[in-house]
Amino acid sequence: MEKILDIADAIAHEKGLEPEKVIEALKTAFVQTAKRVINKDFAFEAQIDEKTKAINIIQTITVLADDNEDLYTEAGDVNPAFMSLSDAKAYDDQVEVGDQLQDEHSLEDYGRTGASQLHREIEFHIQRLVEDELFNKYKSKVGTLVSGRVTRVDAQQSTYIEVDEVRAVLPMKSRIKGESFDVGDHIKAVVRRVNMDKENGIQIELSRTSPKFLEELLALEVPEIADGTVIVERSARIPGERAKVALLSTHPQVDAVGATVGVKGVRINAVSEELIGENIDCIEYTTIPELFVSRTMSPAIISHVEIIKNEEGENEKVIITLPADQKSKAIGKSGINIRLASMLTGMNIELVETDSTTNEATGEIEESKDGVDALEALFN
């Protein structure tokens, strides 16, 4: 088999693979072919002849002691991978236990059968190598933004998208409510999951409902996020309706919220447009949990925050005290505001209205100020 290394270089160049990996795949193909057309029980090894640029098939036979049980199979036949020391002495009187004898085979001696089988094996192993490379490539892209052209929409409304050299799928459950796509549309999404299936090969699932999609779009529109000056610490979404993003500036002269929103909201509006009009609340992140919770409840103005810890000392839930007229704002339409705040903080939120008493002298309602004073102390 002449100049197989030249073929390996050509395949590597055409498929964008590393030549060393292609050579290993070809060696595996040669060994598997030898097992199929010569003897499946033989121990074969593929060796490269640098001078002729060919791959040689070598059968290796290990020399064992005459009384070694491995010399025979369970059926009592001679194991072709081994040879007794006494039999080996007939070939070379200098041989010792543990030495390996080598017998060269040529696939060309097996005519069309050997050639066709080798062709199938090479095709299989190269295709598998290509799939492995793509799998590793896109596995590292999980959570990152990709874009492509819609090639098909099936009966279940799953959208198939051509992304570079592979086809990915955007399931209906991962689409924003109310959006639809037609063949030829160009869309953006994040890689949600990458699987390798023996029958169907590499499978890439995309998402437009993940909070990560929102974060990637922000990085695309906001240079400060792209270069790390502003960090998206946390994000939460109810796709197509509303989202909250917690932002942190790493530079004292950069306003995280202002940079993200942009002049007259141009940056945040561009992201909202891609998300089919999803409203995006930008808040400043802080490591003070009580203050962070109060900011996540915006636009509601709250009076007091109490965080309840579990037995392990972890934050379990938060009790928020607020005026009665702020409760509807805190909850939001269909509970959307409090749900997002809970998702962003990772805690269950319980709302408690402030106690109100009537001043007998003036007839005016007075609200308890204890919670307000405690919250303000956090800012000072």
Residue 2 confidence (pLDDT): 53
Domain 289-380 in this protein, CATH class = alpha beta
CB 260 within 8 A of CB 225: yes
What tokens were used for 321?
């005290």
Q: Across residues 10-29, what is the average pLDDT?
A: 90
The residue to which tokens 């070939």 are assigned: 91
CB 274 within 8 A of CB 188: yes
CATH superfamily assigned to domain 147-206: Nucleic acid-binding proteins (2.40.50.140)
For 316, list phi and psi in degrees, rounded to 5.
-110, -50
Which of 100-104, 185-189, 359-363 is predicted least confidently?
Answer: 359-363
pLDDT digit string, tens, across residues 264-301:
999 999 999 999 999 999 999 999 999 999 999 999 99
Has residue 376 got a pLDDT over 80? no
d(CA 114, CA 111): 6
Separation in Å, CA 156 to CA 149, 152, 153, 159, 173: 19, 11, 8, 9, 10
- pLDDT: which is higher, 337 or 89: 337
Contacting residues for 309 by C-beta, under 8 A, at least 6 apart: 315, 316
In the chain, domain spans = 4-132, 147-206, 210-285, 289-380
Has residue 366 got a pLDDT over 90? no
Has residue 368 got a pLDDT over 70? no
Domain 4-132 in this protein, CATH class = alpha beta
Query: What is the layout of strands, in order, in the sheet containing 304-309?
Result: 304-309, 315-322, 348-353
The H-assigned helical ranges of the chain are: 4-15, 19-37, 85-89, 111-139, 211-221, 223-226, 256-261, 266-274, 289-296, 327-331, 336-345, 370-379
pLDDT digit string, tens, across residues 72-129:
776 667 777 788 888 888 877 788 888 888 888 888 888 888 889 999 999 999 988 9
What tokens were used for 302?
């709250």
CATH number, domain 210-285, options 3.20.20.70, 3.30.300.20, 3.90.1640.10, 3.40.50.970: 3.30.300.20
Residue 355 confidence (pLDDT): 62
pLDDT digit string, tens, across residues 307-322:
988 877 777 789 999 9
